[in-house]
Amino acid sequence: MQKLGYGAVSTDKEELNLYKFGMIHTPRTDQAYNEFLNEGIRHITTEFPRILMYTEPDVIVAELVPPGRLGSNSELVVAAITVCKVIAFQWGIEWRDIADSTWKAKVVGRREATKAQTRNTVFSYFPNMADQHKLLKKQQKADGLKAEGFPADITDAIAVSIAGTIIYDIEAQERTGTESEREAQDSTRSVPALL
């Protein structure tokens, strides 16, 4: 609810391209829990459609967050994901959930990858982002802030997007292959001549 990272990845001739990335950030205040929940939902319902307009996704892949898994914050996490899912359905965009161990294994090669391992793997896919990360850290340090660079929520979201792109493309190729095989079989059938 407070930090919702996103990353849009596309494929072009089997090459991954990082299209857009960022974060929907709802600042935490001294508001009561219900007020913060309502404000977060209001913020997401404004910002998430903007992201959809920028990225025009074919499919959205989100990390599956089972209720109760994150303790006291699980309601906020589930609420944020649910709001996004409803908006995606309203826009007619396919939504898929992926477990954290699945995307980590697919992208990083380890089902229990750390935040640093995920970040470094994302940077290996997109070296320009690594350069931007270094520049951001320098700027943060110059501004007297903690030099963190891009938040882990963003690099995690990009990793989820990479995994989704890989999985979605494989499924699309399998469907295309199946359709091509069916067409080949259909073409071998006898067709009555029309005179």
Please write the tens of the pLDDT for every residue from 90-121.
999 999 999 889 999 999 999 999 999 999 99
Q: Tell me, what's the pLDDT at 15?
A: 83
Q: Tell me, what's the pLDDT at 174?
A: 64
Q: Tell me, what's the pLDDT at 161?
A: 92
* Average pLDDT over every residue of 128-146: 94
Q: What is the pLDDT of residues 58-67, one digit of tens each?
A: 899 998 876 6
* Average pLDDT over every residue of 18-37: 80
CATH 3.30.420.10 fits 3-173, yes or no: yes
Token pair for 62: 């989100």
Residue 195 pLDDT > 80, yes or no? no
* Average pLDDT over every residue of 72-81: 75
Residue with the two structure tokens 């508001």: 31
Classify residue 109 by its DSSP letter: S
* Average pLDDT over every residue of 48-65: 90
Kind and range of the H or E run holding 50: helix 33-55
Q: Tell me, what's the pLDDT at 94?
A: 92
Strands 59-63 vs 94-98: parallel, antiparallel or unpaired: parallel
Domain ranges within the chain, ordered by starting residue:
3-173
Cα–Cα distance, 49 to 115 (Å, whole number): 28
Cα–Cα distance, 182 to 10 (Å, whole number): 28
CB atoms within 10 A of CB 87: 18
Global pTM reads: 0.81
Q: Pick from 66, 31, 98, 9: which is nearest to 41 by CA?
A: 31
Q: Tell me, what's the pLDDT at 29?
A: 67
Residue 191 pLDDT > 50, yes or no? no
Q: Tell me, what's the pLDDT at 38?
A: 82
**pLDDT confidence of 192, banded at 50, 70, 90?**
very low
Q: Are 115 and 123 in contact (CB under 8 A)?
A: no
Residue 150 pLDDT > 60, yes or no? yes
Residue 73 pLDDT > 80, yes or no? no
